[in-house]
Amino acid sequence: MTFSLSDSGTIEVFPADVKTSLDLLLIPGLSAGFPSPAADFIDLTIDLNKELIKNPPSTFLARIEGDSMKDVSICNGDIVVIDKSLKASDGKIIVAFLDGVFTVKRIRVEKNGCWLCAENSKYPAIWVTEGNNFQIWGVVVHVIKSF
């Protein structure tokens, strides 16, 4: 699926395919300090489908365009895992459809509406009221990055 973001781009959304399993070596408790001699004796594996996707029928992946969420390490080119079955609540990072445009923002709920807040100070928060065409499309549960 491809959705229009704005005049500047699109967002591609892919359903999560969990038909296969890929078991990868898992190093538990990897130290960011001193090396651990126990790492030589590891025999654990992890399936990323099971780790990242808790509800396959309602889980989608999308590639991020832009830098409005960079202060929470969601950056241009990253892939977000979105779960449409989760209830959005105050402080969650969501994918929203607002007045014909999809966006990723942190939601701040108030009595008479809500704010969609960027995590980059160069973008203003967006006040959403009943007058807007607004829908919460899903909750961001993971981000996949490349370095």
Q: Are residues 10 and 37 in the same domain?
A: no
H-helix segments, 44-141: 48-52
Q: What is the pTM of this model?
A: 0.77
Q: Are residues 37 and 63 in the same domain?
A: no
54 has catalytic annotation: no
Q: Are residues 99 and 114 in the same domain?
A: yes
- Give strand ranges (E) for the chain: 2-6, 9-15, 23-26, 44-47, 59-63, 79-83, 93-98, 101-110, 113-117, 126-128, 134-144
68 has catalytic annotation: yes
Q: Are residues 24 and 94 in the same domain?
A: no
> Tens place of pLDDT for every residue, the chain, 147 residues?
545 444 444 566 777 776 777 666 666 665 666 665 655 556 677 788 888 889 888 999 999 989 999 999 999 999 999 999 999 999 999 999 999 889 999 999 998 889 999 999 999 999 998 889 999 999 999 999 988
Q: Are residues 135 and 73 in the same domain?
A: yes
CATH number (domain holding residue 109):
2.10.109.10
> Which structural domain, as residue segments, surrounds residue 126?
2-15+56-144
Q: Are residues 35 and 83 in the same domain?
A: no
Q: Are residues 7 and 66 in the same domain?
A: yes
How many domains, in total, are found in the chain? 2
Catalytic residue among 4, 84, 105, 146: 105
Q: Are residues 29 and 85 in the same domain?
A: no
Q: Are residues 44 and 76 in the same domain?
A: no
Catalytic residue among 68, 73, 145, 146: 68
Q: How far apart are the first and last CA of the chain?
A: 26
Distance CA 65, CA 52 (A): 21
